[in-house]
Structure 1
Amino acid sequence: MMRLFSPRKTTLMFVIRDKTRTPLENLEPVLREDIQKIWDFVPKPEAHKETPISEFFNVEVVALSSYEEKEEQFKEQVANLRGRFFHSIAPGGLAGDRRGVVPASGFSFSAQQIWRVIKENKDLDLPAHKVMVATVRCEEIANEKHANFSTNEEWCQMEESVQFSPVTGFGKRLSSILNSYLSEYDSEATYFDEGVRSAKGKQLEEKLLQLVQPAYQSMLGHIRSGNLEKFKDKFEKALNAGEGFSSAACACTQSCMALFDEQCRDAVIGQANWDASRVRDKLHRDIDSHVASVEAAKLSDLTLIFEAKLNEALAAPVEALLDGANNETWSSIRKLLRRETESAVSGLSSALSGFDMDEQTEEKMLINMENYASSLVEAKAREQAGRVLNCMKDRFSMLFSHDSDSIPRVWSGKEDIRAITKTARSSSLKLLSVMAAIRLDGDVDNVESTLSSALLDNKNSVAVTDGSITTHDPLALGTWEEVESLFFIWVFYFPCAIYSCTI
């Protein structure tokens, strides 16, 4: 548009009719300020962004008196203004400073060139009158329908209710309300330009959908949370009824996801093409997370159950076998351990069959159960070993004071005290040798023979002289780390055994 203003200036004359008592000097600055504001908003090429209006236009303001009040003065002012137009091309006239003035003979050609420039400048194209009218009226109708929808009582109730709970028939009801306002728009705008009507109708629909989308998202949120709670309840009931973990999880997941899809279809707004897949994925992740947490808890409970069974089956029997230590003690413990471990592992394996876990994870759990059983026996053996001195004293006392039928001895003075003492000491040493090592692997060792030769043999035995204890070569050739502990246990045990013999 700017290129039409050059290379000559154009005079813009503003004529004020029926001037009042307000001086022109006060009116003109206000008018020029408004003109400047208009100029500031006119699109300009980059080169003329800061160019003042005076570069292209001569702005003049003329005031005419009131014809009714000052007729003669009005006519005189009009005659002067007419003269300026009659002599516009004279020096100092309205067009006197135009450099593009052409003679009358060239006017036809000049006018053709001006028209060509106007036709080529698309910035000057104006829409058809019917398009302008349609644009204004269709926009007014659309704004009215948008405002009416915003205050619609049924919509406002739905918008408020869906913040706290799901709304029955949400999609169908809201689609109906939207359709009624869009239909009203189409009806009122039906006689306007089709292109404008359709464009404004589409804009109205987009604005209305933007308005209702938060409510739709709230509705999806309620559907998601509701189905998650239904899954949890259904899943728990299925497990309590004895259904396999994996099959129950799969069936409940499929059921709840199908229900979610159905409820989402009921919440769909007909005018929108919104995708609920992100909310659906969120529900699936929440379900998977819950299943994983329940699975971890169930597996932990199963482990505790079978560990408790092992503890009940092994603790007391192993303690009893160690108390009655003999040549078959560790053989019996190994048989007991093997039987109970196989039972526990078999039971756990059967229980794990309902879980959809990989073979490696299941094998690890079964190995851990086997290790627990072994550690339980080892712990009980170490516990008994910690009380071995008392156990040896009790055994010696029992065997020394009771016969082979466990009947209290009646001392007549004819008993072979040395033989009885030796038997009791040998049995106590047997107890020490049984508890000296944990023999779950079944390997043969020489613990008992080494202890016997070192502690019962006369040459290497403990001697008591004048109440003091002296030793001769005490297990000097011992080959296991606990040999010193065994020796000192025997040292503390021996005086007690001697004391029992002298009573």
Structure 2
Amino acid sequence: MEDHCCSTQLIDGDGQFNVVGLDNFVRTTKLSDCGLSYAVVAIMGPQSSGKSTLMNHLFRTNFREMDAFRGRSQTTKGIWMAKCVGIEPFTIAMDLEGTDGRERGEDDTAFEKQSALFALAIADIVLINMWCHDIGREQAANKPLLKTVFQVMMRLFSPRKTTLLFVIRDKTKTPLDYLEPILREDIQKIWDAVPKPQAHKNTPLSEFFNVEVTALSSYEEKEEQFKQQVAELRQRFFHSISPGGLAGDRRGVVPASGFSFSAQQIWKVIRENKDLDLPAHKVMVATVRCEEIADEKLRLLSVDEGWLAVKEAVQAGPVPGFGKKLSAVLDKYFSEYDSETIYFEEGVRNAKRRQLESKALDVRLHLLISILFNFVVGMKELLCSCHACA
């Protein structure tokens, strides 16, 4: 299991982003090859509520779990990520540090809010882990978390609809049919009470979130029943991005090859406490990645064997079929650029392609100039030779 999920600490407890670790994760798991066919699932909830245990059973990851015999304490620090084993499409699991932990103290909620905003900006599905006995309680542990989730969602411009899957842990004998309406009523009250900008004063919760509810038996007291219920829940994550699947509308999704850069920039903006404009962010990611891909194609062109052969032949004299040979080489790299940028924002990728074509045109002009130069030199030598003979 450990060999396949590639568990990596994405952000440490001090808020430092693990760029090297993420790049290694992307390379090892071949995430970049997925295009738009990938999903991100994050989990948040109170400390020591069994988040890592649930993720490990649900996705066959190997996040560190709390040792109950050593007392209830912080296990997950920062944000960890792993590949969900055996799930299609490619799914990334993110395990967030628990909220309401004694280690950070009562007043240190900055990281909680930052990590919640990060999860909402990145994830298609967010699991909210909560205790069954908290449902209907005014001072429930999940209420500050939900307020945080809703407050930070207000900072996401042009919101992408995210699925909030509430996982009720250690379910009692009370049927879910009785628990769910109470939970949904509490969720709605919290949403109504959250201060909203004028543009979203009357925006319903359903515009931002798909709300789903499920319940699980106690892992410690009814382990087999818990495992069976988790196995059934796991099935819902297959084909999650298909129409009608568990994932949201995915308006803010970036191509997999831009995931690393996108995640880094989102965290940077959050840490600097700026407003997070997802449409602008999507354009920025497309601009950077399309430019990188175009530069890489030009670099590969410069060392291409076919290109070097044409270039060398030109130095010796006219090359039969010069235009076709050169076009074949250039078309190869244009085609590669198109296939690698197909999922990025259309306007950006087209603009960068025109730049690539322009630079490639410069390459062709240099070759033509070289041909003309050699032709002129050759004619001059021929004329000199004729004069000498005369």
Relative to the length of structure 2, the TM-score reads 0.32
Relative to the length of structure 1, the TM-score reads 0.26
Instruction: Give the number of the structure whose residues are more often helix, by fraction.
Output: 1
Instruction: Give the number of the structure whose residues are more often strand, by fraction.
Output: 2
Q: Which has the higher contact order (CA 8 A, sep 6+)?
A: 2
